[in-house]
Amino acid sequence: DLYQNGTYNKWIEKVLTHPNEIRQIYKEVSGSEKPDDWYPLQVICEKCGKVGTTKVTGIKGDKVTYKCMPDMVSWAQGCGHEGEINPYDGRSKLPWKVEWAVKWSGLPVTIEGSGKDHNAAGGSHDISVRICKEILEMPVPYNIPYEFFLTGGAKMSSSKGEGATAKAIGELLPPEILRFLMIQKHPKRPIEFNPEGSTVPVLFDQHDKASEQYFASEPEIPDHGRLFHYSQISDAKPVKHYLPRFTRVIFFLQMPHMDAEKEIAEIKGSKLTVEDKEEVAMRIKYGKKWLDSYAPEDFVF
């Protein structure tokens, strides 16, 4: 964690020395007026452990004074404790627009996309850019505004909403397949993904075809093959191995008397390699998730 390992420490210190300037940035960019006693930081209450209910009230050397407010937010009640605490090494949390700028500086980040809603005039990105430049005095990453990720026609939510959540999609697809899905479209075009239809099996097939083109065409790799290349999560060069069709894996999973690995080896026509077995195990894992939660009737029997 970037708070706990100290990566953010020096940036938190810098933010705490410029509360007035940060308040002014919020006002100028978005029209949001923070009270004169507002600090861009919340700490973890030493008594109740809450962070969303605390209010920093001042700075004393390397510590901040704070109060855990009983009625500051509607979704939690603070315990009323007042104290002082060193805010570093994971004992505090920045407001996310400030945190975004700190993340750019602390990692550092050189390129990062963000949704079109964050890039609206006077939005989150504009505030973080000003903080990054004027308070942290660091370069701003190259920005790539992107369209929404739609699930069943609804915008995907990071927590809840009409569409599937980001967490649910992340658990449904292996990282390489999810990256393959994301990079197929231009950033300024929305990605439509419906896990309840045949999208997942088709996506695996598209990925596997791109893999074939990648390995068959080296060193002159066509665009579709390059999608496979950039979907890899490891920096190591991809190793060619057998990719069983996702639909076959789904079939074998519903046949209790069949050993999926053995059946796939027969289809391949030779013994499975270590890489083959890892791929089979991965597809079995995600195949079970899809069958249990999203597979339409024509895939279930």
Whether 4 is in a domain gets the answer no
Q: Are residues 196 and 294 in the same domain?
A: yes
**pLDDT 10s digits, 95-150:** 999 999 999 999 999 999 888 888 899 999 999 999 999 999 999 999 988 877 77
Q: For 142-188, what is each residue's pLDDT tens digit?
A: 998 887 777 766 665 554 444 556 778 888 999 999 999 988 888 77
**Each residue of 181-239: pLDDT tens digit?**
988 888 778 888 888 889 999 999 999 999 999 998 766 666 788 899 999 999 898 99
The pLDDT value given to residue 160? 46
- Predicted confidence at residue 221, as pLDDT, reads 67
In sequence order, the 6+-apart residues with CB closer than 8 A to the CB of 237 are none
Q: Are residues 174 and 45 in the same domain?
A: no
Task: Specify whether 216 is located in the same domain as 114.
Answer: no
List all residues 6 or more positions away from 210 whose beta carbon is below 8 Å from its beta carbon: 180, 224, 225, 227, 228, 231
CATH number for the domain that contains residue 182: 1.10.10.770
Q: What is the mean pLDDT of the chain?
A: 91
Q: Show Cβ contacts of residue 130 under 8 Å, excluding neighbours closer than 6 positions.
A: 25, 28, 29
Q: Is the dihedral of CA 58, 64, 67, 71 positive or negative?
A: positive
Asked if residue 1 belongs to a domain, the reply is no
What is the Cα–Cα distance from 206 to 27, expressed in whole angstroms? Answer: 48
* Tens-digit pLDDT profile for residues 254-291: 998 999 999 999 999 999 999 999 999 999 999 999 99
Specify the DSSP class assigned to residue 210.
Answer: H
Q: Which domain holds residue 161?
A: 149-299
Q: Do 116 and 254 fall into the same domain? A: no
- Does residue 117 lie in a domain region? yes
Q: How does 105-115 read in b/e, with b if 16+ C-beta sit within 10 Å? A: bbeebeeeebb
How many structural domains is the chain composed of? 2
